Amino acid sequence: MNQLALRKSNLMKKRYNIDSFPIPLWQIEQAIIDQGFDIVISKSLCKSCIIKKTVYVPHTMDFISRFMLSHELGHILCHNCDIHRLDDISKEQLESQANAFSVYFLIPTRRFKIDSKIYNAYELSELYGVPVGFINSCVKKYLAN
């Protein structure tokens, strides 16, 4: 378990009084803006990234944007550095940390443990407003058991 990502996600949920899911996009955007970053949404992008003090995200469906924005918020809160200049192993570790933040932020751990016994991945995706692939990979990695 990534303790820093868990701690930071819990702090943000408390700060913004987040207790219902899926988390509205505007709340994630506000959290990013409150950290001093701008957000640019563009149809010409295929993935999200941070350059200097700007978060760039593609114009896409809400459930994908929710994951991308929370992932970038994880980068901002957990390590706040330009990962593009790091070696591949360090990049992979920081990407994993941002994914962990995203999981902990977007999905309530206790509730997921109950819901995952009742619902399949597609239903969980709908319930939490995240991509099915996110449920199948990241979520099960960090919230299993």
Helix and strand totals (H; E) in the chain:
8, 3
Structural domains counted in the chain: 1
Q: What is the CA radius of gyration of the chain?
A: 14
pLDDT of residue 46: 92
pLDDT of residue 10: 95
Interhelix angle 109-118/121-128, nearest 10 degrees:
140
Q: Which two tokens stand for residue 103?
A: 């999981």
pLDDT of residue 144: 64
CA distance 131 to 96: 17
* Secondary element (H or E) of residue 39: strand 38-42
Task: Name residue 26's amino acid.
Answer: W
Phi-psi group of 58: left, alpha or beta (phi > 0 → left; psi -120 to 50 → alpha; rest → beta):
beta
pLDDT of residue 80: 72
Please tell me what DSSP assigns to residue 107.
S
Label the pairing between strands 49-51 and 54-58. Answer: antiparallel
Query: Which pTM was predicted?
Result: 0.91
Expressed as residue numbers, the domain containing 53 is 3-143
> Average pLDDT for consecutive 10-residue bins of the chain (145 residues)?
89 94 96 97 93 94 94 92 76 89 91 90 93 82 67
pLDDT of residue 137: 81
pLDDT of residue 1: 54
Q: Which two tokens stand for residue 92?
A: 């992979």
pLDDT of residue 91: 83
Reduce the DSSP state of residue 132 to 3 states and report it: helix
In 3D, which of 67, 96, 125 has the Cα closest to residue 57? 67
